[in-house]
Structures are given as structure tokens and as C-alpha cells.
Structure 1
């Protein structure tokens, strides 16, 4: 029984740490913010990068210098107050030429340094759905209630001295 409780507590701790890190990255992901330790996170809402990046995926973007971008990199940028993540297909004097993998034509205009956010470094499939769900008030209340029930359970069923010595 002690092993099961230890494994359960370890899984809960890891899950909480992952959620805290992702929540911190998401919180500091506004286009004009500096991110969290140089990273920003975004939920994918369109299929323009299918099949590599799908709707509902969560991407972690590293803020790297504009000059470090190479053809083939997947970059995130701001376009008409929207956050877009597309592949760089060419570099021109005017800026970066980008295109979604699922799109037939390249993006209109160029990505200038002022609108560039960062380069996609990590993809967590389907995790964007979880982030979107947790942003709803009812989901937040549910998570707080579940944590409260867990704390009450721990209070009512403390670990016995004999179990901890085994």
C-alpha cells in the first residue's frame, strides 16, 4: 500500500509541476512580453501547419534572435493582431517569406523583425485542448474542488507511523 501511495503522489507531483510550468509559459506569452525564461507557449487553433502541427496542439516557442532564423525553421509571429506559426520558405531583404505546410500559397507580406516572436522548439500534441478547457471558470473551479477533496482526504487519512517505517 505504501508503494501505491508513493507512486500516486509522485505522479500527482509531476503532473502539477508540468501544469505550473506550462501555465507560467502561457501567462507570459503576450507578443510584447519577454516570455518565461525566453519561452512562450501557444495553443494551435488552425490547421495551416497540418500534419506536423495540428489543431489543439500546444507549441513552445523559444525567443531567438531574428538573425538566427534559417530557411525551414517554423517561426511564430504577429500578423494583424493574430499569432501565426508558419514555416520560413525564404529570406528576403524585406523580411521572412512564410507559408503554412497545408497552404497552397505563401503568406501575404513579409515577417519583419518587429512582428517576429520566436522559433518553435517543442510540440505537445492535444495539450492545447487541456489549456483551453482550464481557462474556463467552471474548469478552474473543478480543479480547485478536486485539490480540496484531495487535501481533506489526506487530513482524514494520515499516514500511520508503522507504514512510514516499513
Structure 2
């Protein structure tokens, strides 16, 4: 029984840690913010980069300097009040030329230092669906309820020192 409890506790700690990190990154992901330790997270909502980046994926973008962007990097930028993540096809004096992998034509205009947000570093498939779900009030209530049930379980069934010694 102690092994199951230890596994459950370890799993809970790992899950809560992951969600706290992702929540922190998401919270500081506004285009004008510097992110959390230089990273921002976004849920992909269009298929313009498929098959490499699909709808529902979660990407973590590093806010590295504009001058460090290279051809073929996948970058996130602001275009008409929307966030877009596309591949850099060319660097010109006017700015970066971008195009979605699934698109037939390149994007209109150029990505400049003012509209550039960062370069994609990590992709977590399907995790964007989880992030989107957790932003809903009912999901928050469910998570809090499960945490409460777990704490009640620990209070009702505390392990004693004799139990811990007998399980070693």
C-alpha cells in the first residue's frame, strides 16, 4: 500500500509542477511582456504549419534577439493583432520573409524587430488542448476538487511510523 501511495504522491508532485511551470509561462506570454525567464507559451489554433506543428499543440518560444534569427527558424510574431507562428524563408533589409509550411504563398509584409516575439524551441503535442481546457472555470474547479479529495484522503488515512518501518 505504501508503494501505491508513494507513486501517487510522486505523480501528483510531477503533474502539479508541470502545470505550475506551464501556467507561469502562459501567464507571462503577452506579446509585450518579456515572458517567464525569457520563454513564452502558446496554443496553436491553425493548421498553417502542419504537419510539423498541428492544431492543439503547445509551443514554447524563446525571446531571443531578433538579430539571431536564421533562415528556416520557426518564429512567432504579431500580425494584425494576432499571433502567428511560421517559418522564416528569407532575411532581407526590410525584415524577415515568412510562410506557413502548409501554405502555398508567403506571408504578406515583413516581420520586423517590433513585431517579432521569439523563436520556437519546444513543441508539446496536443498539450494546447489541456491548457485551453484548464483556462475554463469548470476545469479549475475540478482540479481544486481532486486536490481537496486527495488531501482529505491523506488526513483520513495517515501513515504511521510503524507502517513505514514495516514496508521497508
Same structural fold, with TM-score higher than 0.5 when normalized by the shorter chain: yes
* 1:49 alignment partner, SS class: coil
Q: What TM-score results when the alignment is normalised by the length of structure 1?
A: 0.98
5+ residue gaps, structure 1, are none
CA distances 1:101-129 after superposition (whole Å, capped 9, x unpaired): 00000000000100000000000000000
5+ residue gaps, structure 2, are none
CA distance in 1, matches of 2:79, 2:160: 59
5 Å-filtered alignment, 1:79-118, equals 79-118=79-118
Q: What TM-score results when the alignment is normalised by the length of structure 2?
A: 0.97
> Considering only aligned residues, what root-mean-square deviation do their CA atoms show, in Å?
0.7
User: Shift of the alpha carbon at 1:12?
Assistant: 1.0
Structure 2 residue aligned with 1:142: 142
5 Å-filtered alignment, 1:10-159, equals 10-159=10-159
* 1:104 alignment partner, SS class: coil
CA distance in 1, matches of 2:148, 2:11: 18
* 1:102 alignment partner, SS class: coil
CA distance in 2, matches of 1:28, 1:158: 38
Q: How many residues align?
A: 166
Structure 1 residue aligned with 2:6: 6
CA distance in 1, matches of 2:38, 2:145: 33
* 1:30 alignment partner, SS class: coil
CA distance in 1, matches of 2:5, 2:97: 53
